[in-house]
Structure 1
Amino acid sequence: MAESEGGEKTEEPTRKRLDDALKKGDVAKSQELSTWFGLAAATLVVSIFADGTTASLGQTLTRFLASPERIAVDGASLRAMFGGLGLAVAAALALPMLMLAFAGIAGNMVQHPPIVTAEPITPKFSKISPASGFKRIFSVEGLLNFFKGLLKILIVGIVIWMVAWPERTRLATLAESDLAGLLPLLKELSLEVMVASVIVFAAIAIADYLFARHRWRKKLMMSLQEIKDEHKQQEGDPHIKGRIRALRQQRSRKRMMAAVPGATVVIANPTHFAVALKYEAGMNAPMCVAKGVDAIALRIRRVAEEAGVTVIENPPLARSLHAALEIDREIPAEHYKAVAEVIGFVMRRRGGR
């Protein structure tokens, strides 16, 4: 247990730890999953748009091959020709490129919600340090990425061989085929390779994402001491909170003592309780301006006597008022009669009505 409370990270990350990581752009991300989305989108683009895009670009470029001598080479004509060519190519490739861009975004969106942060691009010396770069290359993660790259090359090679080997007879005749027969065959073989790669890479991408998420959560694991420190930051250090509470009580006591000279009467027992009440014409009921027990009660009495405020000793009433009253609150109705008799007595002593 002592070791766990120290530096060993045995606890699941808290919600705050996960949120802080997301704010910094530290998320579980699999590059293989993003690659799979791009490969799947490319396969879809080839299967849907290959014929139409090829035909459109073929029509646009035919005149460059069929009759190049008719192309005007003056400045205005060249600008118009290249402008039209650019628009034609952009129109033919717009939808396929849009699908590929959407696949790239989707590959990241399915792994984590959108995050806007400058943390990953913030300049840091560790990012340009040769020592840090060397450690990254030859770290465990660098070796894992290296072997993953080799595995992908091996898998792609096996997929291409499995698709191409049954077609070896047809591939041998490609050199003798005309262009019209060559393009459909290449498209067919390309699609077979891409579909097979998509199927195989789906398993690789899922496994890599689960592994990346496991490593990410393991990296964010916390020790018991880190959890305690986090609770202290969120709830406040008990020592600091105690100090703040003491300062507030001290200020409140000073304000209370400052109000004692303006009280009408202080009701007390000889040593333990003291309650200072204030009553003026127009008030609904007398109000408590100060109260205390023991040392504070003695201090209230001393301040009252120094200011000429009448102190009445009535132990039962002092105890009940102390228990029932809060500072700056009117006395409850059940004490009206007893307090009225006391204040009436004080006013008669002062010669008031």
Structure 2
Amino acid sequence: MSEQDDQERTEEPSEKRLREAREKGDLPRSRDLSGAMVVLAGVAALMSGSEDAFRHAQRIYGLGLSYGRDALFSGELPARVLGGALHEGLLLFAPVALATVLATLAAPVMLGGLSFSSQALEPKFDRLDPVAGLGRVFSMRGLVELGKSLLKLAFIGTALVLLLRHSQQAMLATGRGEVTAGIAMALSTLGRAALVFGAMLALIGGIDALYQRFDYSKRQRMTKQELRDESKETEGNPELKGRIRQMQHQMARKRMMQELPKADVVVVNPTHFAVALRYDDGRMRAPRVIAKGVDVLAQQIRLVAGAHRIPLVEAPPLARALYATTELGREIPAALYVAVAQVLAYVYQLKQATTQGHAPPPTPNPEIDPDLMGPYRET
């Protein structure tokens, strides 16, 4: 089942998945790279302060070799030697400790960044299951880790053995020479061994860091179904969103129909378009669209307008331009001021003619720039 899942995980991880992995403390990490940086930082600190290190090491040796007869029988010798050795040892290894701490913090930053996760501290009792533990041991990842450990043992062990064989005669000769020469030889051998160890571990760590990045990217990949599920979770269920949009449209249409009786005129294309305009020169800078629709909704607007005796003016180009350029509740654009003014003037003249019993004025036929009709331009 897991192999099938891996084969299906062909999609790159989303930002949400990577963020959740970081919150769980799941980041690419290389213990080999971290170990290499710690060793190399310690060796660098030790070698850069080799003179001070030699001086502190010499004092530690001297504390155990220089004491008088009175001090030997006074009972204060052990405390004095141990206290002095501890003090000198702290001074000797303080730079090394500081460098290794900084390297410990720098290694994760280089690979995946620092991250503190409380979830990573939670106890996971399922790891106590011996069957699951054997499954992890004999998994592909477990075999890879075993192979890496054997390679590290072989490379590093071989390198250190060769170094010790090369230094064997010089190390044996320290027993016949002066103490200072022995200290210098010990520190030199220790530094070279640590340098070889760090270099070999850095080589392995560099390879391991590349593998850990690849393995992390592979583990975080997603299936197409996971992407769809995450999209639903993030953006909402499409069916529910569609239902909400439908309800919003119904509520907007209801409000539009409630505002329609306040219109001064409805500009129509004989069957397809209907746009209701309202203009209050005391409160509006320009006429405003309070209702608009096409086809069935346009027919409903015409029926409501007829029931409330709102004039219908047939001006197909103007109706299409108003529908294309002006959102519901917005003022008309300046490019349509003249055309709409002609229609409103016609409406006012029509009302006066009807009241006074005069002949109705001629229906206006305003000229409209075809570009204002957008996708509703007639060919």
What TM bracket, shorter-length normalisation? 0.7 to 0.9
Cα distance in 2 for partners of 1:46, 1:258 equals: 85
Per the alignment, residue 185 of structure 1 pairs with: 185
TM alignment of 1:185-224, pairs within 5 A: 185-224=185-224
Per the alignment, residue 337 of structure 2 pairs with: 333
2:35 maps to a residue whose letter is T
Q: Which has the higher contact order (CA 8 A, sep 6+)?
A: 1
2:245 maps to a residue whose letter is R
Cα distance in 1 for partners of 2:256, 2:197 equals: 81
Cα 1:63/1:8, change in 2 over 3 Å: closer
Per the alignment, residue 349 of structure 2 pairs with: 344
Per the alignment, residue 277 of structure 1 pairs with: 277
1:223 maps to a residue whose letter is T
Per the alignment, residue 295 of structure 2 pairs with: 294
Cα 1:302/1:154, change in 2 over 3 Å: same
Deviations 1:258-291 (A, max 9, x none): 1012223445566544333323352444332112
The yes-or-no answer on 1:324 pairing with 2:336 is no
Cα 1:91/1:350, change in 2 over 3 Å: farther
Q: Is the 8 A contact 1:275 1:318 kept in 2?
A: no
Question: Tell me, what secondary structure is at the counterpart of 2:291?
Answer: strand
Deviations 1:200-220 (A, max 9, x none): 333222222222222222222
Cα distance in 1 for partners of 2:83, 2:168 equals: 43
Q: Is the 8 A contact 1:260 1:289 kept in 2?
A: yes
1:213 maps to a residue whose letter is R
TM alignment of 1:125-140, pairs within 5 A: 125-140=125-140
Cα distance in 2 for partners of 1:130, 1:350 equals: 98
2:249 maps to a residue whose letter is Q
TM alignment of 1:117-196, pairs within 5 A: 117-173=117-173, 179-196=179-196
CA RMSD of aligned residues (A): 3.8
Cα distance in 2 for partners of 1:265, 1:195 equals: 91
Q: Is the 8 A contact 2:274 2:302 kept in 1?
A: yes
Deviation of residue 256 (structure 1)?
Answer: 0.3
Q: Is the 8 A contact 2:260 2:305 kept in 1?
A: yes
2:212 maps to a residue whose letter is A
**More deviation in 189-198 or 248-257?**
189-198
Per the alignment, residue 367 of structure 2 pairs with: none
What percentage of aligned pairs have identical amino acids? Answer: 27
Deviations 1:153-177 (A, max 9, x none): 3333322321222344444455555
Per the alignment, residue 25 of structure 1 pairs with: 25
2:338 maps to a residue whose letter is E
The yes-or-no answer on 1:310 pairing with 2:280 is no
Q: Is the 8 A contact 2:37 2:103 kept in 1?
A: yes
Q: Is the 8 A contact 1:288 1:330 kept in 2?
A: yes
Per the alignment, residue 365 of structure 2 pairs with: none
Cα 1:187/1:294, change in 2 over 3 Å: closer
TM alignment of 1:34-183, pairs within 5 A: 34-56=34-56, 59=59, 66=67, 68=71, 89-173=89-173, 179-183=179-183
Question: Tell me, what secondary structure is at the counterpart of 1:291?
Answer: strand
In structure 1, runs of 5+ residues without a counterpart are none
Cα distance in 1 for partners of 2:352, 2:329 equals: 22
Cα 1:288/1:198, change in 2 over 3 Å: closer
In structure 2, runs of 5+ residues without a counterpart are 357-379
Deviation of residue 252 (structure 1)?
Answer: 1.3
Deviation of residue 114 (structure 1)?
Answer: 2.7
